[in-house]
Structure 1
Amino acid sequence: MSHYESISYYFPELVMSLKQTLLMVSIAMGIGGGLGLLIGTQLFLSQMNQKKSLSVSYIILNSYVNVIRSFPFLLLVVALIPMTRWLVGTGFGPIAASVSLSVVSIAIYARLVEQVLLDIPVGVLELADCLGVSSWQFVYHFLWLEARSGLVLSLTSMLISLVSYSTVMGVVGGGGIGDFAIRYGYQRYETAVMYTAVTIMILIVGLIQFIGSFIAKKIDKRMDR
């Protein structure tokens, strides 16, 4: 079977794997982006408001982020199977796989958000304090809007990491483009199929980076100065 025939033969499975990757990554991005933003903001606020010692909320959230980010991902996927079954009723499939990806995406984005917020100029924070704004006004108008470009770039980095992590979700039946490359390319000695899948992943990552960088540049208020 020629390279072209091999790719044509497995094309339906390739399309299905792309849909599975899109589903897993989309769910994890939505959950990780939302909760990661809130947790990262809370980590920043806890450090900013500390007096003599860090708050209990900071210690708990910071510990969660540190443990999840340092945990070997494949082992984390297996360890979370009981929780996944409790949440979605099954430990296998793309929806179940998105649970593990979501847990990791929250930790990744939370730390990136915290780092971006720490880079905000002190003068901006002092201005907010002088104006006597409310807590919500401070977070939205002086933190998120000021750091919006960095937050988008951080979300882009998190999304690229999720695409990478999704390649091992075949261990829990999640499928995806990575699982397709291994099952139909590597294990069946179809090198054309495997390298086609790898090329598609590279293109996806490149597209994500391009879109993220484009949006970040457009909304960067420093470009208007």
Structure 2
Amino acid sequence: MEEIILKALGETLIMVFASTIFSVIIGFIPAILLIVTSDEGLRPNKVIYSILDFIVNTLRSFPFIILMVIVMPLAKIIVGKTTGIFATIVPLTVAAAPFVSRVIESSLKEVDKGVIEAAKAFGASDFQIIFKVMLKEAVPSITSGITLILISIVGYSAMAGTLGAGGLGDVAIRYGYQRFEPDIMIVTCIILIIVVQAVQFWGNYFYKRLSK
């Protein structure tokens, strides 16, 4: 049983960190467009902002289990199957990406407007303002937000176990619940708590380092 739990832990970590990386990459683009086209952005555009705002809010409104079922055909196209850890990375990424967009957008909004105006006064381009001023200033806040998203994805990955995703959630359901082995359920819950605590610890550590 120890081998099964260790394997499940490895699967959970793969799902969590891979989907986090992909969601940050995918969520970064709409986040930049949202901040640039907002009313107080560098290039205000109400149409583009409204469309992106609607899409992000719509994706955020879906409960993860429902979203996972909806995204299964996409997972089938990308990885060739609808179950297993690699197939589950797809819905985890889709679920997390809009949250990443909001985290980055909110962090960029917190950047001191005086710093942005100073950059404009020195003749900085929009690209330079976004990537060399705003993002640089917002890195600590973004790091804190990504930590929360990582923790959320840990929870999502456990829920995905009910649909054959693998990982600790799958072990808890198959062995702890369906086979009436409460010890397995307790162990998997403890491991998930440890994972969450570890993510929060390192998130806080990097936040403090980057804030100096």
Larger Rg: 1
Shift of 1:50: 5.3
1:193 aligns with 2:193: no
Q: Which one of 158, 165, 181 corresponds to residue 149 of structure 2?
A: 158
Distance 2:163 2:126 in 1: 42
Shift of 1:65: 1.2
Distance 1:66 1:150 in 2: 21
Q: Which one of 4, 16, 25 corresponds to residue 7 of structure 2?
A: 16
Report what 1:116 is aligned to.
107
- What does the per-residue CA deviation read over 1:149-172, in whole Å, with 9 as the maximum and x for residues that have no partner? 001001111111100100122244
Shift of 1:213: 0.8
Shift of 1:39: 2.0
Report what 1:138 is aligned to.
129
Q: Does the CA-based 8 Å contact 1:97-1:172 persist in structure 2?
A: no
> Which residue identity does 2:8 align to in structure 1?
S
Distance 1:121 1:177 in 2: 42
Q: Which one of 47, 54, 62 corresponds to residue 46 of structure 2?
A: 54
> Which residue identity does 2:173 align to in structure 1?
I
Distance 2:164 2:119 in 1: 49
Structure 1: gaps of 5 or more residues: 1-9
Report what 1:3 is aligned to.
none
Q: Does the CA-based 8 Å contact 1:93-1:172 persist in structure 2?
A: no
Higher RCO structure (Cα 8 Å, ≥6 apart): 1
Q: Does the CA-based 8 Å contact 1:91-1:172 persist in structure 2?
A: no
Structure 2: gaps of 5 or more residues: none
> Which residue identity does 1:188 align to in structure 2?
R
Distance 1:139 1:35 in 2: 17
Distance 1:35 1:136 in 2: 19
Shift of 1:64: 2.0
Written as runs of structure 1 = structure 2, the 5 A alignment for 1:143-222 is: 143-220=134-211
TM-score (norm 1): 0.88
Shift of 1:122: 1.1
Report what 2:20 is aligned to.
29
Report what 2:65 is aligned to.
74
Distance 1:66 1:172 in 2: 25
